[in-house]
Amino acid sequence: EDEEDEGEGEEDPPPPSTHSRTRRERERGRGKRMSSSYNYVVTAHKPTNVTHSVVGNFTSKDDINLIVVKCTRVEIYLLTADGLQPLTDVPFYGRIATLELFRSPGEEQDLIFLSTERYHFCVLAYDAATGELVTRAGGDMQDRIGRPTDNGQVGIIDPECRMIGLHLYDGLFKIIPIDSTGKLHDAFNIRLEELNVITIKFLYGCDKPTIAILYQDTKSAKHIRTYSINLRDKEFEPGPWDHSNLDMGANVIIPVPTPLGGAIVVGEQTIMYFDGKATSVIPIKQTITKAYGIIDPDGSRYLLSDITGTLHLLVLVHTDQKVVGLKLQQLGRTSVASTLSYLDNGVVFVGSSYGDSQLIRLLATPQGGMGEDQNNFVEVLETFVNLGPIVDFSVAELEHQGQGQVVTCSGVYADGSLRVIRNGIGINEQASIELPGVKGMWSLKAGGSSSGDGQSAFDKYLLVTFVGATRVLAINEEDELEETEIAGLESEEQSLLCANVASDQILQVTPKEVRLINASSHVLVESWKPEASSSGNEGSIGSIRITAATCTENVLLVALSQGQLVHMELQAGKLVEKSRATMPAEISCIDIGPKTQEGVQQQSTPAFACLGLWNMTVVVCSLPDLRTISTITLGVDVIPRSSLICRLEGVLYCMVALGDGHLFTFVVDEQNGFQLTDRKKVSLGTQPMTLKLFATNGSHHVFAASDRPTVIYSSNRKLLYSNVNLREVTHMSSFNAEAFPECLAFIQDETMVIGTIDQIQKLHIRTIPLGEQPRRICHQKESHTFAVCTVSSDFESTKDDNEINYVRLIDDQTFETLSKFQLDSYEHACSIVSCAFEKDEKHHYYLIGTAYAPPDEVEPARGRILVFLVTNNNGSISLDLVHSKEVKGAVYNLNSFNGKLLVGVNSKVQVFRWQQREEGSWELANECSHHNHILALYVQSRGDFIVVGDLMKSISLLVYKPEEGAIELLACDFNTNWMTAVHFLDDDTYLGAENSFNLFSVKRNSDSASEDLRQKLEPVGQFHLGEFVNRFRKGSLVMQLPESGSSAMKTLIFGTVNGVIGIVASLAPEKYKMLHKLEQCLNQVIKGVGGLSHQKWRSFYNERKVEEASGFIDGDLIESYLDLRKERMDQVAQLMDMDAEELSKQVEELARLH
């Protein structure tokens, strides 16, 4: 699996000590090229954990917008009749702590107020002209002294927009006044007597701004108190009402809008309503409420969601604007919500940090039928995948293509699941046939069917062309492809183009002629041959050939030799020549546009053509007169091989593919005479490439067939490229047949494959719901299984101990649970590994490390190491416990270690060997141990070296000496870092993640003469990631292609609480220098949203120090270069003194790491 393959690439490892020495020398030799002191950190999968969401009119006064915050990203959606439409997704240089929408006086649309965990705030507005977020105000709210609040920041806005209130430090309430013009004034603090504040809210309908504070006193009793704020004297005055001794579990205040006013307090056993005059209380079944959402603007109905994901409707019963009672009704189950936003017409957005977020509809009548939950009023309309929190993951090669798949332990409680993540788009094969020598392929519909346009909706034929031959394949009654004939087709020539055209006809273009065939009777109705040019310089007629052709329903454009271009109209039984032109060079490829696509039925006549010429230029000419509009010199010495005009997400693109796998993309300016603008160049392969348009799920994409097949698609009006998980593809065609709906046909290695295509996205994610929370996972190649440690939480039971821990054995192809082992009560699984031991190599065992954590113990005093063997009895696979070893403490870590077992138990690191008892059974025996840690939480090994990530004492390096049978301390980092994960970058450099969301790397001074320096691990890199990393693993998400430059870089994958999957790759020093300069240039051109600085965001930050980032490159910033507009790209390239295309090429190479 991950750490196990230490002796990779050697047939027979020498004994451990020499093995590690040769390994060291090998590393040293390799170390000259890549230095592990410099690293590139990039996000392969953005955060998906929804922390906040609000609804309002943000992008214009009539739009209903959903604004979703995923920790460090802000996403804005527009509510349309078809659901949520994403408008923009913006990275934010900070971890967002609070989010509010407000409308300042005199504004027609809402503004966003955000504050970050590092005490920055900003007010954002939407600029409809550019589609970007504009910063209206912003600043730093940090105080010189103050203890940060335990329950997180509170950021609230007075309903009448008179002020913003913030609770950032214990005992202080910060106020930012807003004047009647909507301008913010200087902030000031008011002292708060209540120290343990749970939450604060502004109340509605008060003459002076009034807050309600829910707090806990020193005796753990909960109270609510209100204060009015006197802005002139900058102090609190007693508020309209107070209440003492609330429900012990009270944790939510819901302010009720006018005319009702007052506030609702939700506890664990009761829900209370107060407004100073009346009080209503109802008992509820014990639970912890996680989120609420208001339904009606007058505040008479609310949604509540609890820790089990149960959704309730809370109704305030009122007469004459007075609340007379409360009613609670259960609606059904959703994901466990962290935020609820009611959109419109009974549609609610359920944002979750614990499972997938959902868009649900509330129903008037229950959906439940027989046996189902009878009272389910919830219908799930859409699910938004959330990988968070990734507690552990495993990198396994499941399809043996040299591409790792990441299997994560995701979700909390009953939302727990495994997620199988792989890069690129998969093809699910439906059929294949051997067909060598194919030169082109097209699908055709059968003619004369019942539907109105004379053609069926489905394709019936697949035309395949070879050198000097064209063959027709059709689907027969048995749904098999067999060869058939269309009489009017010329079958002894290679075809350049075949298509269904207007008036129920089929068009075939061969190098010698154009043929028009009746699609129903298959009779040839008209043909056209190119005649020799009048200049007669070639002599014979036979020398004029058709070299390329393209058509729409009723227009045909053919390119002849000597650079001639002929424009014809396709009529019923007729080919009518309309115009001719001669180009300055031979024409190599040709396309016309705009075509009718996106399901539009109007017969729009194409307006222009795009030609690629043998003189390495692209010519745009107008139709029907073939006048040249513009000529673009590509500046390369490779011939264009394929051109395509297509509309993606409303933008008209012209793409030109070259013979060396490069692709030029242009945006067509339709207002301005079809000029080509915004030129970009990407490298998609190394072989000639052909472009084809295809549709799936109602939207259009482009398939680029070459040695690295790629799908080009548009998201948020940006072109994205996703590799397809196939080897070299030479030709493709869509083939939407009744037997194979929405399929594509590919020619690959002399075989034709027909298959459906996965959802078009960069990462493909498959969900395996477990109904339990997975904590640890490990893959075993030999048995083709995963072992997963899960926790089943039963909130319904009243006993203290409501968690049961299991070890599940799961098949690595079908992901079915094959076997399940239950641990003892209060026993938790802490670690897992798959390994073989010396003297017993033929067996591969799963080892589970556990801890007993009864409620009365502060620190686990005992645990077990369980040794399992996967056995197969006539096809029934089970997990058998073969040995159990008691230890004194929690087994935080297990590592396979040179044929032995390396274990971290509480504060010590131990090595066990596997030995045979006299009667023949095997057991673990202690060999040696090393103390001197607070808690040895994270242990990794490489050769005989051991790296330990301690609870608070950062990283230390140990070495195992097999001759002496002892572990010794070599060096340690003397900084205080509370570790969350560690890993080796190379023999002398180690990577760590700590609990303030930073990454850092330390290096061993192994060559230093001074003993003191040798004992110290020097920090060589530090970087604020803004994500809590739970695990690093060796591996790569992309296929390792031998010729690509970036794949030589060794990569680590990490997983975080917010569902981020990231990559760390080591860089050569000169590459680091170049990228560091590029970071600085990009920061001059790209400004952070809300006026936040990138440099400050990435600086190492914890309670003890703030230091500038070093040794790490922010890959997300570097790769944002590819999304810039052309003029801003040029600006950055100018600052870098580099050519923009060369710079793009270097950044694209890095983007291929994920």
% the chain with pLDDT above 70: 92
Q: And the tokens for 410?
A: 């995701």
Report the C-alpha gap between 769 and 751 in whole angstroms: 37
Q: And the tokens for 143?
A: 């105080």
For residue 347, count other CB atoms closer than 10 A to its CB.
19
User: Pairing relation of β-strands 417-423 and 763-769?
Assistant: antiparallel
- Which residue's structure tokens are 């073939």? 626
% the chain with pLDDT above 90: 64
| Integer angstrom CA distances of residue 1076 from 244, 1069, 1082, 1116 | 58, 10, 10, 13
Report the C-alpha gap between 1141 and 1133 in whole angstroms: 9
Instruction: State the average pLDDT over residues 297-318.
Output: 94
Asked whether the predicted pLDDT for residue 601 surpasses 50, the reply is: no
- Which residue's structure tokens are 């259960």? 330
**120-133, pLDDT tens digit by residue?**
999 999 998 888 89
Q: Give helix 1126-1136 / helix 1140-1151 axis angle, nearest 10°.
A: 100
**869-891, pLDDT tens digit by residue?**
999 888 889 999 999 999 999 99
Please list, residue by residue across 815-851, b when 16 or more beta carbons sit within 10 angstroms of its beta carbon and e when fewer do.
Answer: eeebbebebeebbbbbbbbbbebeeeeeebbbbbbbb
Report the C-alpha gap between 207 and 202 in whole angstroms: 12
**Cβ-Cβ contacts under 8 Å for 392 (sequence gap 6 or more):** 408, 409, 774, 775, 776, 777, 1030, 1031, 1055
pLDDT, position 120: 95
**Cβ-Cβ contacts under 8 Å for 964 (sequence gap 6 or more):** none
Asked whether the predicted pLDDT for residue 25 surpasses 50, the reply is: no
Return the SS3 of 110: coil
Cα angle for residues 1056, 1057, 1061 (degrees, 5° grid): 30
Type and span of the H or E element at 458: strand 455-466
Q: Is the sign of the CA dihedral 633, 635, 639, 640 positive or negative?
A: negative
| Integer angstrom CA distances of residue 597 from 602, 780, 929 | 10, 48, 70
**Taking all residues of the chain, what is their mean pLDDT, rounded to a whole number?**
88
Sheet containing 662-669: order of strands = 640-648, 651-658, 662-669, 675-683
pLDDT, position 479: 75
Report the C-alpha gap between 335 and 260 in whole angstroms: 31
Asked whether the predicted pLDDT for residue 612 surpasses 50, the reply is: yes
Report the C-alpha gap between 546 and 357 in whole angstroms: 55
* DSSP per residue, 910-947: EEEEEEE-TTS-EEEEEEEEE---S-EEEEEEETTEEE
**167-218, pLDDT tens digit by residue?**
999 999 999 999 988 899 999 999 999 989 999 999 999 999 999 999 999 9
Phi-psi region of 659 (alpha: psi -120 to 50; beta: other; left: phi over 0): alpha
**1063-1115, pLDDT tens digit by residue?**
999 999 999 999 999 999 999 999 999 999 999 999 999 988 999 999 999 99
Cβ atoms of residues 178 and 184 within 8 Å = yes
Q: Is the sign of the CA dihedral 186, 191, 194, 196 positive or negative?
A: positive
Asked whether the predicted pLDDT for residue 798 surpasses 70, the reply is: no
Q: Indicate the range of 714-718, 768-772, 1013-1017 predicted with least confidence.
A: 714-718
Q: How many CA atoms lie within 13 A of 196 on its CB side?
A: 9
Type and span of the H or E element at 222: strand 222-230
Q: And the tokens for 1138?
A: 């580099």
pLDDT, position 452: 41
Q: Give helix 1140-1151 / helix 1069-1085 axis angle, nearest 10°.
A: 110
Cβ atoms of residues 501 and 487 within 8 Å = no
Phi-psi region of 465 (alpha: psi -120 to 50; beta: other; left: phi over 0): beta
**1027-1042, pLDDT tens digit by residue?**
999 999 998 887 655 4
Asked whether the predicted pLDDT for residue 931 surpasses 70, the reply is: yes
Asked whether the predicted pLDDT for residue 32 surpasses 50, the reply is: no
**50-81, pLDDT tens digit by residue?**
999 999 999 999 999 999 999 999 999 999 88
Instruction: State the average pLDDT over residues 1108-1124.
Output: 94
Specify the DSSP class assigned to residue 1091: G
Burial of 556 (0-12, 13-18, 19+ CB in 10 A): buried
Asked whether the predicted pLDDT for residue 785 surpasses 70, the reply is: yes
Report the C-alpha gap between 628 and 621 in whole angstroms: 4
Instruction: State the average pLDDT over residues 295-321.
Output: 93
Specify the DSSP class assigned to residue 594: P
Return the SS3 of 93: coil
pLDDT, position 374: 67
For residue 626, count other CB atoms closer than 10 A to its CB.
20
Nearest to 336 by CA among 360, 366, 358: 358
Tell me how far the alpha carbon of residue 49 is from its chain's centroid: 11
Report the C-alpha gap between 624 and 581 in whole angstroms: 11
Cα angle for residues 892, 896, 901 (degrees, 5° grid): 70
The terminus-to-terminus CA distance of the chain in angstroms comes to 20
| Integer angstrom CA distances of residue 199 from 212, 214, 223, 503 | 8, 5, 11, 71
* DSSP per residue, 331-376: EEE-SPPSEEEEEETTEEEEE-SSS-EEEEEE-SS----SSS-TT-
Q: Please confirm whether the linkage preceding 105 is cis (ω < 30° from 0).
A: no
- Which residue's structure tokens are 């710079």? 1143
Type and span of the H or E element at 682: strand 675-683
For residue 671, count other CB atoms closer than 10 A to its CB.
6
Instruction: State the average pLDDT over residues 550-557.
Output: 90
Asked whether the predicted pLDDT for residue 6 surpasses 50, the reply is: no
| Integer angstrom CA distances of residue 1150 from 214, 294, 379 | 50, 46, 43
Specify the DSSP class assigned to residue 1095: H
Burial of 1131 (0-12, 13-18, 19+ CB in 10 A): middle
Asked whether the predicted pLDDT for residue 341 surpasses 90, the reply is: yes
Cα angle for residues 567, 570, 573 (degrees, 5° grid): 135
Burial of 456 (0-12, 13-18, 19+ CB in 10 A): middle
For residue 30, count other CB atoms closer than 10 A to its CB.
11
Instruction: State the average pLDDT over residues 332-341.
Output: 95
Q: Which residue has the higher pLDDT, 689 or 368?
A: 689
User: Pairing relation of β-strands 998-1004 and 662-669?
Assistant: unpaired
Q: Please confirm whether the linkage preceding 1019 is cis (ω < 30° from 0).
A: no
Report the C-alpha gap between 314 and 305 in whole angstroms: 11
